């Protein structure tokens, strides 16, 4: 998903292997990205572009009125079955496929407003009603819509507006002699009901609904860093030739302290698995729900009622404002390129969007001083705001790094030494050109070239600069105009940077069956982004910070006490609790080009048996741990048992398959079947795995969920059994991730839910307190789970018997 699709990848690799040796050498040894791009780009032939065009033709990104009807009907089915959430999402898909001001779009909006009404989302429902009306909702159906509007307004405590709607409604009835008698009667009856409600409400003082939107303003940095906006004053920026740039604590930092709060410079929503068309035989359109259906394409906010771009079916936004901003800043260029961008992958998309965003920066500050150096660069531009100028300056500057080093000692900082969250900072993230394989660089260069050609073909070079585009002579081989090739080089740089600097924006998604009373959560990747400040942090397999996201804003908090002078570290992915040292080091070397020497890596290198996965098997006779490499022998005092690792590993794989199958039953609500399977897995696991094995934890966790979901009279599930299993799972999590880890926090949250549902007041309160303490450190106070815990707590405190005071 980050890189181009496999078909294009192998096509380009094939092309590379057929190139004459001399050309391969020229490209491999190109000293600058500029040379690399200039040597590769002309090799992209028209037939290559045709091939790419065929590939991207498989994505459905345009509007299709037939699809609109299809999704509306599917939505109606869900609506009939009272699955309002499912209906809303399908109506949204219908909305995105209908053209603006069409009956199709107005019907989809109107139907979605009904689903939202049932979901209790009255504000959003009202917005959809207005949308339906502005897009030309049929006159004859208006009464239905107006009634819904009146009911919404009543529920929201806005009686004046509701009365006005009722008046509109009555006059609309009067103008409708076409209504059948029975229809008229039904409407009359509903109208009466609404009128009564309106009158009741009119006598009450106006109540405004409590703002439920998540505000982030309350969680700010205690004191902002003067050198690095977005970072706390408790850290400082350092640079050294071996480690590059990094952050160090300037004072003792307590767990939970906010160290960085930064909005992404650029982010691109990961649309999820977008299937290529044609898919199944039954249907041209899929009804699968992905990230792209549920999150705003600009601010990433979750929404059940997105508004689509007028020009395509794939870009959807939480609001008209987000749509407009996205359009102005980048989507006007990207809109027609949707299929190509899906084919070329997220990195290519982020690269394009970064350069598009660079157009809006006041780069004058950076360039003015260096304008003298610009005079020999070919293009000298009058506008200080012109991105081509910055790009040109920076690209030309690669050769004379040393001169620049004198002026700005830390790359990415301005002449005053301030590290700003702007394009300059993005530009200075390391592309590691020398570390990428020639084939990879060739793939990136040709993908970027293809994108530039499309931009050119679409006449979009006007977007890249205010200057008139340089004229192309028709007879010449394909050469990009000067501005676009400057853009191409910049995009190539971003594509190479992203491998080491891309930050995945993740969100916690709730999974588990609808019946389940305890929430299971899963971390999913929502977007790929670049954060200049977050990028300053180095990696550790055992980091001292925790990263979380709200929309496109990243926050980094200390996850433990950090002493003054210690480096601030976060984990790029390979965490010591998830992988052994060999796997971690291999991953870090191949993706990030360095050898990790963090304390856990050094420790495990000395003593390989310390990592996870080792010492995990035990003897089926005496239960003692098995030790050894290819052949493991029992460590029990009087036991001679030995067994091959291969055998144990294949047994483990069998077990994991079974657990997977049981979890699937659990998700589909087949609880009894799931429990039977899981109990089998549990006794199997006991016979050869240690009690701390992560699979044992998974089994216990799944059992807990299953028992909690059982439909028993009086109590919510078999909460006692559920709690017992959850406590075992908690022990495993503690061994693997530590007592104050975020994983522990999520598991404690589940246990709190179980106790709460079982009305086990003291246990619940104790667990809520523990969960809250752990989660606060990682997420700060505005986290959904923490709010949920607080609600449970106040509910329980109301239940507690009121202590009787001493008699007077």
Site residues, Zn ion (CB under 5 A): 296, 298-299, 301, 309, 311-312, 315, 318, 322, 335, 541, 596, 598, 601, 619, 621-622, 624, 634, 636, 639, 641
399 φ, ψ (degrees, to nearest 5): -70, -35
Nearest approach in angstroms of CB 583 to Zn ion is 11
Nearest approach in angstroms of CB 300 to Zn ion is 7
Nearest approach in angstroms of CB 585 to Zn ion is 7
For residues 630 and 617, the answer to whether their CB atoms sit within 8 Å is no
Nearest approach in angstroms of CB 176 to Zn ion is 38
Residue among 321 and 407 whose Cβ is closer to Zn ion:
321
Residue among 306 and 412 whose Cβ is closer to Zn ion:
306
State the first-to-last Cα distance of the chain, in angstroms, to the nearest integer: 73
Nearest approach in angstroms of CB 626 to Zn ion is 8
- Taking the C-alpha atoms of residue 184 and residue 191, their distance in angstroms, rounded to an integer, is 10
Residue among 42 and 599 whose Cβ is closer to Zn ion:
599
- Taking the C-alpha atoms of residue 389 and residue 367, their distance in angstroms, rounded to an integer, is 8
Cis upstream peptide for 578 (omega within 30°): no
Is residue 476 packed enough to be buried (19+ CB in 10 Å), middle (13-18) or exposed (0-12)?
exposed
What six digits make up the tokens of 49? 């572009």
Instruction: Beginning with the edge strand found earlier in the chain, give each strand of the sheet holding 626-627 in spatial order.
Output: 626-627, 631-634, 642-644
CA distances from 470 to 95, 391, 439, 461, 484 (A): 41, 17, 31, 10, 10
For residues 309 and 23, the answer to whether their CB atoms sit within 8 Å is no
Nearest approach in angstroms of CB 601 to Zn ion is 3
* Neighbouring residues of 241: CB distance < 8 A, sequence distance ≥ 6: none
Residue among 309 and 529 whose Cβ is closer to Zn ion:
309
Nearest approach in angstroms of CB 619 to Zn ion is 3
Residue among 96 and 783 whose Cβ is closer to Zn ion:
96
* Neighbouring residues of 214: CB distance < 8 A, sequence distance ≥ 6: 550, 782
Nearest approach in angstroms of CB 302 to Zn ion is 10
For residues 717 and 685, the answer to whether their CB atoms sit within 8 Å is no
Nearest approach in angstroms of CB 311 to Zn ion is 4
Three-class DSSP category at 542: coil
Nearest approach in angstroms of CB 631 to Zn ion is 14
Q: What is the DSSP letter of 253?
A: B
Q: Of 634, 604, 605, 630, which is closest to residue 617 (Cα–Cα)?
A: 634
- Taking the C-alpha atoms of residue 540 and residue 23, their distance in angstroms, rounded to an integer, is 40
CA distances from 294 to 93, 194, 291, 314 (A): 10, 33, 5, 12
Residue among 330 and 779 whose Cβ is closer to Zn ion:
330
- Taking the C-alpha atoms of residue 585 and residue 590, their distance in angstroms, rounded to an integer, is 9
């Amino acid at each position: 998903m980050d890189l181009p699709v496999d078909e294009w990848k192998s096509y380009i690799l094939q092309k590379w292997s057929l190139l004459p040796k001399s050309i391969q050498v020229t490209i491999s040894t190109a000293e600058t990205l500029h040379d690399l791009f200039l040597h590769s780009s002309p090799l992209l032939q028209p037939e290559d572009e045709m091939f790419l065009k065929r590939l991207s033709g498989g994505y459905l990104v345009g509007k299709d009125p037939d699809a609109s009807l299809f999704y509306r009907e599917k939505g109606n089915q869900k609506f009939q079955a009272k699955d309002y959430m499912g209906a809303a999402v399908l109506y949204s898909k219908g909305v995105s496929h209908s053209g603006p001001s069409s009956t199709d779009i107005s019907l989809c909006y109107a139907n979605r407003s009904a689903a939202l009404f049932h979901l209790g989302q009255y504000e959003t429902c009202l917005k959809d009603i207005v949308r339906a009306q502005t897009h030309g909702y049929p006159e004859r159906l208006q009464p239905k819509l107006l009634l819904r509007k009146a009911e919404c307004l009543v529920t929201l405590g806005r009686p004046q507006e509701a009365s006005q709607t009722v008046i509109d409604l009555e006059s609309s009835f009067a103008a409708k002699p076409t209504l059948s008698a029975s229809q008229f009667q039904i409407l009359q009856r509903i109208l009466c009901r609404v009128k009564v409600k309106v009158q009741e409400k009119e006598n009450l003082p106006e109540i405004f609904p409590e703002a439920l939107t998540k505000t982030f303003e309350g969680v700010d940095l205690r004191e902002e860093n003067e050198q690095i906006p977005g970072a706390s004053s408790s850290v400082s920026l350092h640079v050294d030739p071996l480690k590059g740039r990094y952050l160090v604590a300037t004072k003792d930092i307590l767990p939970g302290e906010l160290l960085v709060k930064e909005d992404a410079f650029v982010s691109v929503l990961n649309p999820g698995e977008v299937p290529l068309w044609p898919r199944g035989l039954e249907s041209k359109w899929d009804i699968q729900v992905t990230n792209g259906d549920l999150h705003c394409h600009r601010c990433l906010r979750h929404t059940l009622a997105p508004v689509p771009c007028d020009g395509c079916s794939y870009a959807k936004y939480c609001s008209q404002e987000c749509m407009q901003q996205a359009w102005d800043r980048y989507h006007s260029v990207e809109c027609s390129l949707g299929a190509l961008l899906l084919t070329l992958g997220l990195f290519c998309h982020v690269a394009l969007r970064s350069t598009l965003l660079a157009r809006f920066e006041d780069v004058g500050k950076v360039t003015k001083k260096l304008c003298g150096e610009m005079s020999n660069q070919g293009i000298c531009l009058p506008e200080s705001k012109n991105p081509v100028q910055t790009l040109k300056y920076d690209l030309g500057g690669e050769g004379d790094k040393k001169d620049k080093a004198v002026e700005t000692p830390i790359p990415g900082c301005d002449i005053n030494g301030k590290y700003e969250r702007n394009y300059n900072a993005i530009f200075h993230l390391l592309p590691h050109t020398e570390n990428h394989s020639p084939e990879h660089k060739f793939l990136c260069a040709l993908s970027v070239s293809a994108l530039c050609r499309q931009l050119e073909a679409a006449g979009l070079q006007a977007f890249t600069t205010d200057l008139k585009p340089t004229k192309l002579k028709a007879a010449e081989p394909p050469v990009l105009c000067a501005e676009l090739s400057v853009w191409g080089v910049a995009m190539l740089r971003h594509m190479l940077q992203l491998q080491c600097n891309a930050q995945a924006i993740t969100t916690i998604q709730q999974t588990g069956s609808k019946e389940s009373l305890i929430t299971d959560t899963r971390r999913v990747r929502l977007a790929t982004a670049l954060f200049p400040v977050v990028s300053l942090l180095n990696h550790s397999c055992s980091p001292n910070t925790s990263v979380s996201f709200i929309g496109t804003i990243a926050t980094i908090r200390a996850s433990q006490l950090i002493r003054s002078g210690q480096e601030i570290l976060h984990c790029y992915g390979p965490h010591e609790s998830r992988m052994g040292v060999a796997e971690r080091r291999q991953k870090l070397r191949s993706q990030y080009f360095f050898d990790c020497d963090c304390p856990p890596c050094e420790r495990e290198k000395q003593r390989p048996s310390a990592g996870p996965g080792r010492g995990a098997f035990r003897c089926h006779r005496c239960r003692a741990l098995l030790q050894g490499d290819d052949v493991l022998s029992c460590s029990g005092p009087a036991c001679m048992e030995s067994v091959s690792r291969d055998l144990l590993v294949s047994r483990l794989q069998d077990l994991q398959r079974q657990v997977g199958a049981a979890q699937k039953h659990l998700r589909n609500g087949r609880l009894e079947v799931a429990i039977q399977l899981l109990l089998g897995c549990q006794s199997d696991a006991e016979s050869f795995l240690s009690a701390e094995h992560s699979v044992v934890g998974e089994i216990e966790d799944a059992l807990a969920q299953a028992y909690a979901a059982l439909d028993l009279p009086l109590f919510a599930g078999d909460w006692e059994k559920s709690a017992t299993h959850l406590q075992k799972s908690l022990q495993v999590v503690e061994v693997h991730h530590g007592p104050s880890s975020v994983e522990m926090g999520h598991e404690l949250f589940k246990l709190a839910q179980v106790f709460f549902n079982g009305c086990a007041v003291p246990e619940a309160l104790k667990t809520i307190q523990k969960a809250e303490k752990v989660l606060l450190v990682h997420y700060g106070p505005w986290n959904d789970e923490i709010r949920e815990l607080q609600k449970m707590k106040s509910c329980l405190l109301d239940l507690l018997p009121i202590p009787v005071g001493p008699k007077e």
